[in-house]
Structure 1
């Protein structure tokens, strides 16, 4: 049995990468979501949460002992130093979680879905990168509608995420999501059939 090769799937906020990931999953591809891994590593009882509370104080915990993401986000968005501290704690742990979940894959290739695939260096765990790209105006529109947040907040998130140029540099395949869902799904199917022909992610 060949070990599955790993495809990294990324895209900016509101680019449609969740819709793309969902369709790959429907086609039977094993998916690991870095956002889920990031949530698992800070569950109560896990060492990372204790270290975060020790560093930032109990103000970043909710009454039930869960991480208060909004409070933590405010602390790190305002302070690049604190953000780096948090990233250096979490990235290796998230990497371990991801590796364990990818190792369970039984499909010919597996997908690591990560909005910060490039920024976090997680692309190094993959053999190929698929970028879901969308015009910035569409990203803003979709995110504001989906999360019901003001434009300024979306703009702030876009600034922290890697620039499109940076992502395009790392991408082996680019799926421009500027049409309807039906078209998007047919593109996913086309890519899936192509990926099934690859060994180790390379033609």
Structure 2
């Protein structure tokens, strides 16, 4: 396997946009959120265990996990969050390893929203890239794109690592505040070439 980059950032930081720019430069993306969504989509491998743990109400009318229902449940009940994570995290981990192994010698970008909260990810990657912006910008972006109420977004932000905690584990921070897409792409381009010029020493 080539260079392993852990990519993280708070909700609304622009992490997915940065991931897309890294892929455009030849990286293979392993997206843990996408893996989670696949596991909980219609026919997903995690659905039987989730239904057994949380009851029929956890499954929506379309046959997929009712994400709004589960979001409210885990906000209100930390024990429910732990049960949910206990089911999903091992399955996400196994699929993450499978996709990374399939990447061969390509650079692999692991898109992990909760990388700072996890105790093991820092040791699994060569570099950690944090996409950062102000909480006000996070709120505005998420409310605009998702239609969530402000208090819902605030609760999500409050349950994630602080900006300082993410920056503390970073090898590089991209400040995605007030940038055009072209300016952000320029920053990604520079970082890509820096890390690939001599990824051990940089």
TM-score, normalising length from structure 1?
Answer: 0.91
Quick one: structure 1 residues 106 and 195, their matched pair in 2 at CA, closer, same or farther if it must change by over 3 Å? farther
Structure 2: how far apart are the matches of 1:7 and 1:128? 5
* Unpaired runs of at least 5, structure 2: none
1:144 aligns with 2:149: no
Aligned CA RMSD, in angstroms, stands at 1.7
1:35 maps to which residue?
33
1:112 maps to which residue?
110
Deviation of 1:107 after TM superposition, in Å, equals: 5.3
Quick one: structure 1 residues 153 and 141, their matched pair in 2 at CA, closer, same or farther if it must change by over 3 Å? same
3-state SS, counterpart of residue 65 of structure 1 = coil
1:84 maps to which residue?
82
**1:60·1:72 contact (CA, 8 Å) conserved in 2?**
yes
Quick one: structure 1 residues 181 and 47, their matched pair in 2 at CA, closer, same or farther if it must change by over 3 Å? closer
Structure 2: how far apart are the matches of 1:153 and 1:119? 20
Quick one: structure 1 residues 108 and 48, their matched pair in 2 at CA, closer, same or farther if it must change by over 3 Å? closer
Quick one: structure 1 residues 135 and 46, their matched pair in 2 at CA, closer, same or farther if it must change by over 3 Å? closer
3-state SS, counterpart of residue 174 of structure 2 = strand
Deviation of 1:126 after TM superposition, in Å, equals: 1.6
Structure 2: how far apart are the matches of 1:17 and 1:58? 33
Question: What whole-Å deviation, never above 9, does each CA across 1:78-130 have from its counterpart, x for those lacking one?
Answer: 10011011112211211111111111214542100121122234344322100
TM-score, normalising length from structure 2?
Answer: 0.91
Structure 1: how far apart are the matches of 2:37 and 2:76? 21
1:181 maps to which residue?
181
**2:26·2:106 contact (CA, 8 Å) conserved in 1?**
no
2:7 maps to which residue?
9
3-state SS, counterpart of residue 102 of structure 2 = coil
**2:19·2:111 contact (CA, 8 Å) conserved in 1?**
yes
Deviation of 1:45 after TM superposition, in Å, equals: 4.6
| Structure 1 counterpart of 2:93, from 92, 95, 101 | 95
Deviation of 1:138 after TM superposition, in Å, equals: 1.2
1:193 maps to which residue?
193
**2:6·2:110 contact (CA, 8 Å) conserved in 1?**
yes
Structure 2: how far apart are the matches of 1:107 and 1:30? 10
Count of residues in correspondence between the two structures: 200
